[in-house]
């Protein structure tokens, strides 16, 4: 009898409450979620549904109020800021809606910065070269973000996110700032990364067409998965 592999992400009873002055905002109200390695999951929901908060907690950018969050066996819920910084460095790659490239560095240096922060050698061959070819940005690496199109910037951001071969790629509205054509390119790239390199991806989106690229779609509303 084969043993079921442990999920890459295992979230149990996750709550997150913000305090804005005297107002208490319950952004997550008991989220349970399991994601297997190699899955491509889309999390959909309207504004205020808690999907961005879930993104931040899973990425170690915010702490949980209650509940447990296990990523690749590491429990984020009891971690200090420093420990969560280490999780971001070692296990998670981020792709943001606004690309978030460092404007003063070239595309290549943006990617190298992620390698440097992770303390990994700045290799340009093998897997790295293949992924760049897949992303189709190999010829644009010397350019600064301001001379790249939105689609190119997002592809560089994806390259930066996967350069350290993270266990989890988190994408927050990756096509939110792109036109239809570039959106499709980026979504296909994410699917290729998932299918060809086995990259686990969790994508936040409110766009059903984008969500359709994922294996599984999870809907959120009022801080819960519905």
Partner 1 sequence: MINKLVIANLKHRWIRTILSSLAVGVQVTMILTIVGLSYGMLDDIGQRSRGVGADILIRPPGSSIIGLSSANIPEKLLDFVRKLPHVAIATGTTVHPIGGPNSVTGIELESFSAMSGGFRYIEGGPFRQPDEVVIDQFWARQNKLKVGDYASFMDRKWRVCGIVEPGKLARMFLPIKLLQDLSANTGKLTMIYVKVDEHENLQTVIDGFKKELPGYQIYSLEEFVSLISVDNVPGVKPFIYVVIGISIFVGFLVVFNSMYTAVLERTREIGILKALGATPQMVLSVLLREAVVLALVGSVAGILLTYVARWAIMHYVPGSLTQTIVPNWWPIATGVSLMGALLGALYPGWKAARQDAIEALSYE
Give the residues lining the site for partner 1 (CB under 8 A): 56, 59, 61-62, 82, 85-86, 88-90, 94, 96, 100-105, 109, 112-114, 116-118, 160
Q: Least separation, in Å, of the C-beta of 99 and partner 1?
A: 10
Q: Least separation, in Å, of the C-beta of 111 and partner 1?
A: 11
221 exposure class (CB count in 10 Å sphere: 0-12, 13-18, 19+): middle
Q: Which is nearer to partner 1, 11 or 114 (CB)?
A: 114
Q: Least separation, in Å, of the C-beta of 188 and partner 1?
A: 25
Q: Least separation, in Å, of the C-beta of 37 and partner 1?
A: 21
Q: Which is nearer to partner 1, 85 or 191 (CB)?
A: 85
Provide the 8-state DSSP code for 77.
G
Q: Which is nearer to partner 1, 116 or 127 (CB)?
A: 116
Q: Which is nearer to partner 1, 60 or 151 (CB)?
A: 60
Bridge partners (DSSP) listed for residue 42: 203, 217
Phi and psi angles of residue 138, each rounded to the nearest 5 degrees, phi first: -55, -35
> What are the angstrom distances between the C-alpha of 198 and each of 61, 122, 194, 220?
24, 22, 5, 26
Q: Following CA atoms 50, 55, 61, 67 in sequence, which dihedral angle do they give, to the nearest 10 degrees? A: 70
């Amino acid at each position: 009898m084969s043993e079921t592999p442990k999920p890459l992400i295992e979230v149990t009873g996750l709550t997150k409450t913000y305090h804005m002055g005297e107002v208490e905002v319950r952004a997550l109200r008991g989220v349970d979620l399991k994601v297997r390695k190699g899955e491509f999951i889309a999390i959909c929901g309207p504004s205020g549904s808690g999907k961005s908060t879930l993104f931040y907690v899973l990425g170690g950018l915010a702490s949980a109020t209650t509940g447990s969050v296990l990523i690749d066996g590491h429990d984020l819920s009891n971690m200090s800021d420093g420990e969560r910084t280490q999780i971001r460095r070692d296990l998670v790659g981020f792709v943001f809606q606004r690309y978030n490239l460092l404007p003063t560095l070239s595309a290549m240096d943006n990617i190298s910065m992620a390698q440097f922060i992770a303390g990994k050698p700045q290799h340009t061959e093998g897997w790295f070269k293949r992924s760049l070819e897949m992303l189709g940005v190999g010829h644009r690496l010397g350019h600064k973000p301001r001379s790249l199109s939105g689609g190119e910037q997002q592809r560089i951001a994806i390259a930066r996110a996967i350069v350290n071969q993270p266990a989890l790629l988190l994408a927050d509205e990756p096509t939110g700032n792109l036109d239809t054509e570039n959106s499709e390119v980026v979504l296909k790239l994410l699917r290729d990364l998932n299918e060809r390199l086995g990259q686990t991806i969790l994508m936040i989106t409110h766009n059903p067409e984008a969500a359709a690229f994922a294996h599984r779609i999870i809907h959120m509303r009022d801080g819960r998965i519905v």
